Amino acid sequence: MSDPAFYSCARCPAYCCSYAHIPVNERDLRRLARGHGISIEKARKNFTKRGDDETPRVMRHRDDEIFESTCIFLDPETRGCTTYESRPTACRQYPGTVRCGYYDFLASERGRFDEDDLVITAWIADTDDEDEDDD
Ligand code: SF4
Ligand code: SF4
């Protein structure tokens, strides 16, 4: 039996999809390409950009009203993933524990302000948000 999860992605604006470095490996690229019916090279160019030494390819971002920017596959209205079946491994594994730190914080603030729809736009400082080459 799987562990219970103490978070609800359905009640969250998808903070994790706003991470600057969402890693994409070769297997992820093959899956994305297959899912979208395009070549691996086209998936690499259209969906990813250069990252850093640790994560050489990362998901491309686009502007977002809540978090300034998110992965290009996040639906800005539903806050759901539009490539769920072909999402990268990092997304499949996140948060990797029965708790999500952002959701814990969100739930606590929602309780404190008695607002079920409260959205927290900043949580912990993202140290990886320097400008990157976009190719
Ligand atoms: S931040 Fe946590 S609760 Fe929100 S979508 Fe990501 S994993 Fe789910
Ligand atoms: S691929 Fe989907 S789950 Fe992964 S970061 Fe992008 S929108 Fe979020």
| pLDDT average per 10 residues of sequence, the chain (135 residues) | 81 96 97 98 98 95 96 97 98 94 94 91 58 52
- Evaluate whether 50 touches 56 at the Cβ level (below 8 Å): yes
Determine if ligand 2 sits within 6 Å of the CB of residue 81: yes
- Residue 130 is predicted with a pLDDT of 44
Give the HSE-up count for residue 101: Cα atoms under 13 Å, Cβ half-sphere.
7
Q: Both tokens of residue 134?
A: 């976009």
Is the backbone of residue 14 left (phi > 0), alpha (psi -120 to 50) or beta? Answer: left
Q: Both tokens of residue 24?
A: 């994409």
- Residue 125 is predicted with a pLDDT of 47
- Evaluate whether 14 touches 74 at the Cβ level (below 8 Å): yes
Tell me the best of 6, 11, 12, 92 to mutate to test the pocket of ligand 1, counting ligand atoms within 8 Å of each CB and taking the most.
Answer: 12
Ligand 2: nearest atom to the Cα of 75: 7
Tell me the best of 62, 85, 87, 93 to mutate to test the pocket of ligand 2, counting ligand atoms within 8 Å of each CB and taking the most.
Answer: 87
Over the Cα atoms of the chain, what is R_g?
A: 16
- Residue 126 is predicted with a pLDDT of 47
Tell me the best of 73, 82, 102 to mutate to test the pocket of ligand 2, counting ligand atoms within 8 Å of each CB and taking the most.
Answer: 73
Determine if ligand 2 sits within 6 Å of the CB of residue 61: no
- Evaluate whether 88 touches 59 at the Cβ level (below 8 Å): yes
Domain ranges of the chain: 20-97
* Cβ density class 42-77: b for 16+ within 10 Å, e for less: ebbeebbbebeeebebbbbbeebebbebbbbbbeee
- pTM greater than 0.75 (yes/no): yes
- Residue 124 is predicted with a pLDDT of 67
Determine if ligand 1 sits within 6 Å of the CB of residue 105: no
- 46 sits in which H/E element: helix 40-47
